[in-house]
C-alpha cells in the first residue's frame, strides 16, 4: 500500500484522507479512531469556552433542548445538535446509545440488564446511563473491533 505524507504550513488545517476499497476494513477504522482522538469540540463551563478532546468525553446528552458534554467530573454546555455531534463521532468509540444520548464505549466499566429490556451502563466515574436495546448491537461491534 502506498503511504503519502505531506508536510503543510502550520496555518493550514491538518487532515487525513483515506483511499480504500472498503471503509469497514479494520485498518481504516483504526486510522479513523486515531484521527478522532485529535478531534476537539467546544464546550462552555462557568462562562468559559473550553476545548475538549473526544476521548475525554464520557457522554453527550440533550436535555429539554439543551446539549451537554459530560466528562469525568465536569459538565459543559454545548450548542451542538445531537445529529451534528453524531456525525463527528463516526469511526470513534462514541456511539448513539438512546434517543437523546451519545456515549463513549471506552468509559463503560460494565453493563447491567434491566427488566425494561434496556441496559444500564455503569461508567468508570460511577455514573449510570441507559442504553436502548436497538443500539446494543452497535456497542457490541465497537467493543469487538
Q: Which residues form the interface with other proteins (CB under 8 A)?
A: 98-101, 108-119, 130, 132-133, 136-137, 139-140, 143-144
User: Measured from the CB atom, is 50 or 132 closer to other proteins?
Assistant: 132
- Give the burial class of 29: count Cβ atoms within 10 A of its Cβ; 0-12 exposed, 13-18 middle, 19 or more buried: middle
CB of 80 to other proteins, least distance (A): 18
By C-alpha distance, which of 50, 54, 82, 53 is closest to 66?
82
Least spacing, CB of residue 127 vs other proteins, in Å? 15
Nearer to other proteins, 44 or 132 (CB): 132
Nearest approach, Cβ of residue 133 and other proteins (Å): 8
* Closer CB to other proteins, 31 or 130, in the complex: 130
CB-wise, 5 or 115, nearer to other proteins?
A: 115
Helix, strand or coil for residue 111? strand
Element containing residue 50 per DSSP (H, E): strand 48-53
Q: Where are any strands of DSSP class E within 54-127?
A: 59-63, 66-70, 75-78, 94-98, 101-104, 108-113, 119-123
Amino acid at each position: 500500500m502506498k503511504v503519502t505524507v505531506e508536510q503543510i504550513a502550520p496555518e493550514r488545517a491538518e487532515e487525513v484522507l483515506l483511499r480504500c476499497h472498503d471503509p469497514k476494513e479494520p485498518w481504516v477504522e483504526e486510522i479513523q479512531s486515531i484521527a478522532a482522538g485529535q478531534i476537539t469540540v467546544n464546550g462552555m463551563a462557568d462562562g468559559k469556552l473550553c476545548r475538549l478532546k473526544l476521548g475525554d468525553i464520557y457522554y453527550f446528552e440533550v436535555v429539554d433542548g439543551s446539549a451537554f458534554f459530560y466528562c469525568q467530573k465536569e459538565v459543559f454546555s454545548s450548542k451542538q445538535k445531537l445529529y451534528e455531534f453524531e456525525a463527528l463521532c463516526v469511526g470513534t468509540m462514541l456511539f448513539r446509545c438512546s434517543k437523546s444520548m451519545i456515549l463513549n464505549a471506552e468509559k463503560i466499566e460494565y453493563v447491567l440488564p434491566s427488566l425494561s429490556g434496556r441496559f444500564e451502563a455503569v461508567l468508570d466515574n460511577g455514573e449510570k446511563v441507559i442504553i436502548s436495546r436497538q443500539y446494543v448491537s452497535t456497542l457490541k461491534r465497537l467493543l469487538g473491533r
